[in-house]
Amino acid sequence: MSKIAVIDYDAGNTMSVMNALKFLGYEVTLSKIPEELFKADHVIFPGVGAYADSMNKLKEYGLIEPIKEIVAKKTPFLGICLGMQLIFNSSTENAGDLGVSSIEGLGLLDGVISGFKENPDFMKLAYKSDDLINGMQDAGKSVSQIKVPHMGWNSLNLQNKDSKLFKGINDGSFVYFVHSFYLSAKNHEDVAATTEYGITFDSAVEHENIFGCQFHPEKSGDVGMEILKNFCTI
């Protein structure tokens, strides 16, 4: 059975990923030591936290070049949530606070990470939703609201019938999200799934040995476990 390594860079959410993989019966190592990561058959790059802080941690631990080497060796590599976002070129998260237009990512795939609240189309819908809620509350009724962060269960619109990550997964399957920033991939052929939340955003990617999920497969029930199993058997 495959040896799985989970990259440890203080970005959070590693233990839930580890527990899911152990439940599936895999040998799992949590490490920030490149030599241990190189020994793995599959590498998972999870994360919950801030983009700039996480890039700084990767630099501090000397993990940027080892990650690029792992990918260059064609080892199957899966980014989850923030881990998927860091795979791409840049993010606007907290960039203004740091006096720059964007924060540089790993650049393993081409694309940018933006905030829902930075998207005019999303904000128009959010404001309409707020107005509607206020009116409904005045009438003593309730109505759902588009909120940031996007938190909870939402469906996948699968884009690639030959996807390795989503083999055996039905189009429209529900998975669990928690995020305020989203991916716009430069190359549509890299997009394995999209999701609707006020706007359409790229929720999963697949390019050769590089895979990514904006959602949390480890928190997505049977569907998520099947996705993890698919990755670990690539």
Catalytic positions? 81, 216, 218
Distance CA 95, CA 143 (A): 34
- The end-to-end CA distance of the chain, in Å, is 12
Which H helix or E strand runs over 112? strand 111-115
Residues 6+ apart with CB under 8 A from 12: 46, 47, 48, 49
Peptide bond into 217 cis (omega under 30): no
DSSP reduced 3-state for 124: helix
Q: Is 136 within 8 Å of 128 (Cβ atoms)?
A: no
Closest CA to 44 of 28, 24, 33: 28
DSSP reduced 3-state for 91: strand
Amino acid identity for residue 135 in this structure = G
Pairing label, strands 181-185, 157-158? unpaired
